[in-house]
Chains A and B, each alone.
Chain A
Amino acid sequence: MTDATADASLEEPIFDRGAPPIWSFTVPMTALFGAFFGFLVGNANGAPIPGVLGGAVYGAIVAIVAMTMLHDSRTAFRWGLIVLTAIAGFIFGSWGAALAGGIIGAVVSWWVYWIGRGDYRAGVPIYSTTGQTLWHNTYLFICGLIFFFLIAPIITIIPLSFNAQNYFTFTPEMLSLSPEGYSVKHYNDFFTNSDWQSAMWNSLKIAPMATILAVGFGTLAAIGLSQPHVPFRRAIMAVLISPMIVPLIISAAGMYFFYSRVNLQGTYLGVVLAHAALGIPFVIITVTATLVGFDRSLTRAAANLGADPVTTFARIQMPLILPGVISGGLFAFITSFDEVVVVLFVGSAQQKTLPWQMFIGLREQISPTILAVATILVAISIALLTTVELLRRRSERLRGLTPG
């Protein structure tokens, strides 16, 4: 390496952590970004080319104003742009357009500071080349898209469930945010339709019973399995975990054949037993995981102080493993509550559960009530997820670990 090249590389702007050039970088980039939104808006109104031009001009003006005049008052500028663009949208269209304008304002104003202040380089080392920086941001963008893919389908159905029409897409009224576009009639249907109501009550009758069975047997067995000397531990574990591994359709087929032989097919008891069997692996896994970190000297200390094994279990061991037991129970509950394949075969019309009713609805006469039910189930899932997470933290705190 000669001195000349070394000197030249020192002058490379990649070592400069200051703001990138405004006129040759920030303004064109923002104009490009604005043009993209302009294209979308213009396209929706049948005029893509003027849209692109308008968007580019909008982006360029935003960049110039933000970078030359309001470089340091980011928050104020962002709010100002959101409000201004929303008002422009409202004049142009209605409430829906105002919302779109607000979103565009928020995104473009974020973009202009992200680009203009060089924040896009914050995640990469100072010596990274332009290509590396570009790759890093592309990678983040791809990850964003994957997260979007994960979450968007679930989020989308929530507004759709308030659709006033019997459609499965956003109607123009919904997009313009007009109140006529929305209604709770699908929820009304769910709470008044006898099919859905009986399905819901069946689910609520089956899942708790299955959970109680799974948790009762499962906790005892998990305590047994966590003893230091268990003969055939691996084989027993394999048998107990197997309901989780065997494909549901095979479990369903086997249970259908076998339960028909012993007259359990089509009975409440049959469905409860089947669901309890399916929930057991989850209880075993969560409770044994809690017991792994359990300090055995505590039970020995209790015994030393004169407690009998039952007292030791009730007063010492149980409170400590309770979080694990409850989250195992929640897993077992959700397994039964969401389960459809086994109940489809083992149950009869009297045991029609909520997922079964949804399955029929999706298969035969697809009705928007399903989306209302789905939204309610998503709410339940969020509640359960939060509970499990809180329990996990509590359990780790009880065991003296730092919650992660």
Chain B
Amino acid sequence: MSDATQDGPVLAADGRPLKASLRSALRRQKMRALLLIAPLLIFVLITFIAPIADMLFRSVENGIVSDTLPRTVVALDDWDYGSGEVPDEPVFEALFVDMYDASERKIHTRLGSRLNYEVTGVSSLFRQAGREMEDIGEIYEDQFDALDENWTQGEFWAQFMGDPDWYSEAAGAEDPGPTFVMKEGMDELLPLTAEAYQMFATFAQEEDEDNVATEDPWALVHARLYQDLTAGAGEGYDGFGAEELAAAREAVGDFESTTYKEAFLNVDEDWADLEIWGTIKAYSPNYTPGYFLKAVDAQLTPHGVEAQPDDQAVYVKLFGRTVWMSLTITFMTILLGYPVAFLLAQLPMRQSSMLMILVLLPFWTSLLVRTSAWKVLLQQQGVINDLLVWAGIINDAGRLVMINNQLGTIIAMTHILLPFMILPLYSVMATIPPTYVRAAKSLGATNVTAFRRVYFPQSVPGIGAGSILVFILAIGYYITPALVGGTDGIFISNRIAYHISSSLNWGLAAALGSILLAAVLILYWAYDRIVGIDNVKLG
């Protein structure tokens, strides 16, 4: 504000206050920058961040139990594992309905394999139960059929349960016909039957694409009708099939029947097993910590969180081994990388550029090329063993086993990750003024002291940067351990891959991945604090 004669705010050329003009220019600049970044940001968010978020979500998501057995989950609310008693009839009744529906949709086996991760044997129990559900329903279906054949006819049922307008439209229509509409008042008159028929109708139309008007209903519907009628429902009906219904009401008293609990126990005694019920209850919420507990060798059981039995506790050991081997590899790269980086930093530019090529060539060479090179070199009939035998260091029978074990993984990964240590070390060392060491020596320090007290402390940031970089890369390695690691040289990544593609336990894979991701992000944060991501250099 050097213009002392002018009052009020300083104006820009266009007459607006300079402050506002500058602010809008700044805003425009910011907008332009953001617009340039936006396409890539959206691209990365969709192709990369969304998948990662999806994985995190999968590690806790557990909708499968309540989706497959919705009624059972609700009925189990009142049951307590601590009571030590098998759930009562209402739970088995709900299970029957759920299981009938699930077995028609063939999704009960999926839930069976999911729960099998928690208690072995559930998978076969569910598969078997799925087969037997129809038999339980048929007890009633047969008796209704004997009473009046109409009760097993699809057309009769459709007119009995369906809205007349809907039926007139649906009859004779091509599959799957118009969406089923329930006759008004039916869900009050015969609530259980109406529910079961609606389930059947939805399934028949959506999954099988059949016309409900002609399709014979499930045996489940008969079982539910029996339930309704014995409970005294169905009184005062005068629509289609009123006579048959009245006759059935008379007859059900003499029907042979069974409780659902008995029926299930007949299928398999394991349905009286508290562990099964406890597990279903423990995993009924939509979100579960179960996968994460599994990933740290614990388990969500009906009794609460428990440690896995020793023979199944593999993950903590595997995480430990991954960290331990990554640390070993990091240490090896420091050991081998420091002297080389030191030499490169001391030599004149021309020579150091020449030697740098020896570092950059492996860096640029395909990971698989380097891994296959080590696989070829390290095998028992490979070049290194041949060389050692030739030099007489070992005899032909005593060829070293250097592959398919931890040693192979460490050797190959040290080689592969060494450039990632040398490059940051070199870039730090290149900035250390040589005069400091010279000054130390002229003040009487020996070579060792000058290095230890003056040079080395200044190179520590390089060691830190390189170590974190190498460690981050090592901890998530998959290819090299898979190819040269054998069984005891594999990393947690290999287990994740196994769960994705072989055991299909995606939730556990996601939980293991999330833990690994958390570890890497913490290290990444540390790296950012020490080096700054902007300072990452390539080549």
- From B39, B336, B373, B501, contact of A221 by CB (8 A): B39
Q: A221-B40, A249-B476 are known contacts. Are A231 and B30 too (CB-CB below 8 A)? A: yes
Q: How far is the CA of A223 from the CA of B376 in the complex (A)?
A: 45
Asked if B33 lies at the interface with its beta carbon under 8 angstroms from chain A, I say yes
Contact B539 A388 (CB under 8 A): yes
CB contacts (< 8 Å) of B539 on chain A: these are: 327, 385, 388-389, 392
Q: A149-B336, A153-B373, A253-B513 are known contacts. Are A245 and B524 too (CB-CB below 8 A)? A: yes
How many Å from the CB of A48 to the closest CB on chain B? Answer: 7
Name A306-356 residues within 8 Å CB distance of B: 327, 331, 334, 337-338, 340-341, 345, 355
Binds A, one of B131-139, B190-198, B308-316, B529-537: B529-537
- Given pairs A43-B391, A255-B48, 18 additional interface contacts (CB within 8 A): A154-B369, A160-B383, A168-B376, A221-B39, A229-B30, A240-B40, A240-B44, A247-B473, A247-B520, A250-B513, A252-B497, A253-B513, A254-B52, A258-B54, A363-B483, A385-B357, A385-B361, A385-B364
Cross-chain pairs A/B with CB under 8 angstroms, 16 sampled = A150-B419, A154-B373, A156-B377, A168-B381, A169-B383, A217-B43, A221-B36, A223-B36, A224-B34, A242-B49, A245-B521, A247-B477, A250-B476, A254-B52, A257-B506, A337-B366
Q: How far is the CA of A261 from the CA of B57 in the complex (A)?
A: 13
Closest 4 CB pairs of A and B: A247-B476, A224-B36, A254-B51, A258-B51
Asked if A238 lies at the interface with its beta carbon under 8 angstroms from chain B, I say yes
Highest count of chain B CB atoms <10 Å: which of A249, A334, A370, A382: A249
Q: A149-B336, A154-B361 are known contacts. Are A220 and B381 too (CB-CB below 8 A)? A: no
Name A371-404 residues within 8 Å CB distance of B: 371, 374, 377-378, 381-382, 384-385, 388-389, 392, 404
Q: Mark A192-235, 1 if CB is under 8 A from B, else 0.
A: 00000000000000000000010001101101110111110000
Q: A225-B33, A230-B33, A381-B364 are known contacts. Are A253 and B509 too (CB-CB below 8 A)? A: yes
Main secondary structure on chain A at its contact with chain B? helix
CB contacts (< 8 Å) of A276 on chain B: these are: 43, 47
Contact B520 A280 (CB under 8 A): no
**A241 (CB) vs chain B CBs: closest residue:** B533
Contact A381 B44 (CB under 8 A): no
Q: Mark A28-59, 1 if CB is under 8 A from B, else 0.
A: 00000000000010011000100000000000
Q: A225-B37, A250-B476 are known contacts. Are A362 and B364 too (CB-CB below 8 A)? A: no
CB contacts (< 8 Å) of B476 on chain A: these are: 246-250
- From A147, A225, A238, A331, contact of B355 by CB (8 A): A147
Asked if A70 lies at the interface with its beta carbon under 8 angstroms from chain B, I say no
Contact B381 A250 (CB under 8 A): no
B interface residues, Cβ below 8 angstroms from A? 26, 29-30, 32-37, 39-41, 43-45, 47-55, 58, 336, 339-340, 343, 349, 353, 355, 357-362, 364-377, 379, 381-383, 386, 390-392, 415, 418-419, 447, 472-473, 475-479, 482-483, 493, 496-497, 500-501, 506, 509-510, 513, 516-517, 520-521, 524, 528, 533-534, 536-539
Contact B475 A247 (CB under 8 A): yes
Q: How far is the CA of A381 from the CA of B41 in the complex (A)?
A: 30
Q: A153-B415, A154-B369, A239-B49 are known contacts. Are A248 and B36 too (CB-CB below 8 A)? A: no
Contact B34 A237 (CB under 8 A): no
Q: A156-B377, A249-B497, A285-B536 are known contacts. Are A239 and B44 too (CB-CB below 8 A)? A: yes
How many Å from the CB of B450 to the closest CB on chain A? Answer: 12
Q: How far is the CA of A44 from the CA of B476 in the complex (A)?
A: 43
- From A142, A168, A258, contact of B50 by CB (8 A): A258
Asked if A85 lies at the interface with its beta carbon under 8 angstroms from chain B, I say no
Contact A44 B355 (CB under 8 A): no
CB contacts (< 8 Å) of B35 on chain A: these are: 224
How many Å from the CB of A129 to the closest CB on chain B? Answer: 10
CB contacts (< 8 Å) of B536 on chain A: these are: 241, 285
Q: How far is the CA of A43 from the CA of B387 in the complex (A)?
A: 12
CB contacts (< 8 Å) of B36 on chain A: these are: 220-221, 223-224, 227
Q: A153-B415, A277-B47 are known contacts. Are A378 and B472 too (CB-CB below 8 A)? A: no
Contact B41 A340 (CB under 8 A): no
Asked if A366 lies at the interface with its beta carbon under 8 angstroms from chain B, I say yes
Asked if A110 lies at the interface with its beta carbon under 8 angstroms from chain B, I say no
How many Å from the CB of A134 to the closest CB on chain B? Answer: 13
- From B37, B418, B500, contact of A230 by CB (8 A): B37
Asked if A286 lies at the interface with its beta carbon under 8 angstroms from chain B, I say yes
Contact B496 A377 (CB under 8 A): no
CB contacts (< 8 Å) of B366 on chain A: these are: 337-338, 355, 374, 377-378, 381
Asked if A60 lies at the interface with its beta carbon under 8 angstroms from chain B, I say no
Asked if A282 lies at the interface with its beta carbon under 8 angstroms from chain B, I say yes
Contact A170 B386 (CB under 8 A): yes
CB contacts (< 8 Å) of A191 on chain B: these are: none
CB contacts (< 8 Å) of A112 on chain B: these are: none
- From B48, B53, B533, contact of A237 by CB (8 A): B533
Contact B52 A251 (CB under 8 A): yes
Q: How far is the CA of A88 from the CA of B352 in the complex (A)?
A: 37
Q: How far is the CA of A218 from the CA of B40 in the complex (A)?
A: 6
Q: How far is the CA of A379 from the CA of B184 in the complex (A)?
A: 78
**B525 (CB) vs chain A CBs: closest residue:** A238
Highest count of chain A CB atoms <10 Å: which of B370, B372, B386, B483: B372
**B524 (CB) vs chain A CBs: closest residue:** A245
CB contacts (< 8 Å) of A298 on chain B: these are: none
Q: A169-B386, A239-B44, A374-B369 are known contacts. Are A229 and B516 too (CB-CB below 8 A)? A: no
Q: A132-B447, A288-B534, A363-B483 are known contacts. Are A253 and B496 too (CB-CB below 8 A)? A: yes
**B378 (CB) vs chain A CBs: closest residue:** A153
Asked if A83 lies at the interface with its beta carbon under 8 angstroms from chain B, I say no
CB contacts (< 8 Å) of B479 on chain A: these are: 340-341, 359
Q: A224-B35, A227-B29, A257-B510 are known contacts. Are A280 and B538 too (CB-CB below 8 A)? A: no
CB contacts (< 8 Å) of A374 on chain B: these are: 366, 368-369, 372-373
Q: How far is the CA of A370 from the CA of B366 in the complex (A)?
A: 12
Contact B362 A167 (CB under 8 A): no
Asked if A61 lies at the interface with its beta carbon under 8 angstroms from chain B, I say no
Contact B55 A257 (CB under 8 A): yes
How many Å from the CB of B361 to the closest CB on chain A? Answer: 6
How many Å from the CB of B80 to the closest CB on chain A? Answer: 35
Contact B44 A243 (CB under 8 A): yes
Contact B372 A256 (CB under 8 A): no
CB contacts (< 8 Å) of B370 on chain A: these are: 153-154
Q: How far is the CA of A126 from the CA of B281 in the complex (A)?
A: 82
CB contacts (< 8 Å) of A146 on chain B: these are: 336, 339-340
CB contacts (< 8 Å) of A251 on chain B: these are: 48, 51-52
CB contacts (< 8 Å) of A236 on chain B: these are: 37, 41
Q: How far is the CA of A135 from the CA of B237 in the complex (A)?
A: 107
Contact B33 A217 (CB under 8 A): no
- From A43, A363, A392, contact of B392 by CB (8 A): A43
Contact A280 B40 (CB under 8 A): yes
- From B45, B372, B376, contact of A239 by CB (8 A): B45
Contact A340 B367 (CB under 8 A): yes
Highest count of chain B CB atoms <10 Å: which of A223, A257, A358: A257
Contact A277 B496 (CB under 8 A): no
**A152 (CB) vs chain B CBs: closest residue:** B377
Contact B39 A359 (CB under 8 A): no
How many Å from the CB of B362 to the closest CB on chain A? Answer: 5
Asked if A157 lies at the interface with its beta carbon under 8 angstroms from chain B, I say yes
CB contacts (< 8 Å) of A338 on chain B: these are: 366-368
Contact B516 A250 (CB under 8 A): yes
